[in-house]
Amino acid sequence: MRRILHMALRMASAIVAAIFMACQCVPPDPPEPTPPDPIDERSQSLKSFMDKTDIGLYVNSEGLVIYDEMDYQKAWSTGAFRIQRDDQSAYLSIIASANSASSSYQVEYKNERSNVTLMLLKLQSVKTENSCVWLWNETMATGIILPEGIL
């Protein structure tokens, strides 16, 4: 009987120890799920434009009038910016509308392949970097890079 009691006591001690150990083990918190990458809803034209770095006018990611300090001059005043080739064969003129809250601009340009073209555009700032601002019109897939703080 004593032997049975001893075995039962050992068994009970083992069960109590197992229960005690199980109670002491707290499972780790599950890892936080990795959030999905944000969806980039910008158009391909805008993405391509934002990769450009030179001051100028871009339509469908093609540079129509691009500033080159060797062949161009640039000038600005309050609400206006202009770049032009030394021989006047190409130029870009941007004038902010009188109602600055509307973000409307008169854009006039000429390049070697076209006559004078005039556009009235609503542009929004999509990027500011290296003292330049990227202005964009999604409907016309037209972007302008110009020095920051001019318009």
Domain count, the chain: 1
Structural domain contains residue 25: no
Structural domain contains residue 3: no
Structural domain contains residue 116: yes
Structural domain contains residue 115: yes
Locate tokens 């609503």: which residue?
Answer: 122
Task: Give CB contacts under 8 A, 24+ apart, made by 75-84.
Answer: 76/147, 76/150, 79/151, 80/151, 81/146, 81/147, 81/150, 81/151, 83/55, 83/56
Domain membership of residue 53 as a residue range: 44-147
Structural domain contains residue 38: no
pTM: 0.71
Structural domain contains residue 137: yes
Structural domain contains residue 32: no
Structure tokens at 21: 């150990």
Q: Are 36 and 29 in contact (CB under 8 A)?
A: no
Structural domain contains residue 22: no
pLDDT (tens place) for every residue of the chain, 151 residues total: 677 766 666 776 767 666 666 666 666 778 888 888 777 677 899 999 999 999 999 999 899 999 999 999 999 998 899 999 999 899 999 999 866 556 899 999 999 888 889 999 999 999 999 999 999 999 999 999 999 888 7
